Structure 1
Amino acid sequence: MILEHALLTVRPGEQEAFESAFGQARRLIAAAPGFRGLRLSRCLERDTGYLLLVEWDRLEDHTDGFRGSPAYQEWKALLHHFYDPFPVVEHFATVLTADPTS
């Protein structure tokens, strides 16, 4: 499993519109082959900050599959105009985990 990580900064005053647009956009990514799930969280210290975490089966499911699809063009149209600056997206592979019993 691959974890995509993006710190998103939304233009001030556009948070509600962004969250609404993201609610529409999530169906686009959810239909992508290799998509496992996502979590969008709002920063408590900066109300314009969000953390997007997306789980993929493989890196290529995101970089080639989703980003190369017509659905990604819709995703971009719905969301990219909210960001300032444009986010850096990185991908991670699990090295170590812990839970309350470890």
Structure 2
Amino acid sequence: MILEAVMLQVKLGMEKEYEEAFREASTIISSMRGYVSHELQRCLEVKGKYLLLVKWETLEDHTVGFRQSKEYQEWKRQLHHFYDPLPTVEHFESVQL
């Protein structure tokens, strides 16, 4: 299992519109092969800051299957105009303790 973590900064004053657009766009990502779950968290200290966590079965399900799909183009169209700056995406795996 891979965890995609993305810190998002939404343009000020667009938070409510962004959250609605994200709800609608969620159907896109949740339909993708290898998708497990996702959640969007709103920061309490910094206005417009969000944390997106997406679980994928494999890294390639995200980096190839989703990112190189026509569905990703629609995801970008619906959401990327809200971000300033564009976010950095990082991937994590569980550490066995």
Over alpha carbons, which structure has the higher Rg?
1
TM over 0.5: yes
Report the alpha carbon displacement of residue 96 of structure 1 after superposing the two structures with TM.
4.4
TM superposition score normalised by structure 1: 0.93
Change (3 A) 1:49 1:96: farther
1:78 is matched with which residue? 78
Letter in 2 for 1:23: R
Give CA deviations for 1:37-58 in whole Å, capped at 9, x if unaligned: 0010000001210000000000
The 2-side partners of 1:39 and 1:20 are apart by: 14
1:95 is matched with which residue? 95
The 2-side partners of 1:69 and 1:50 are apart by: 24
Alpha-carbon RMSD:
0.9
Letter in 2 for 1:21: A
Runs of 4+ that moved beyond 3 A: none
1:30 is matched with which residue? 30
1:53 is matched with which residue? 53
Identity %: 53
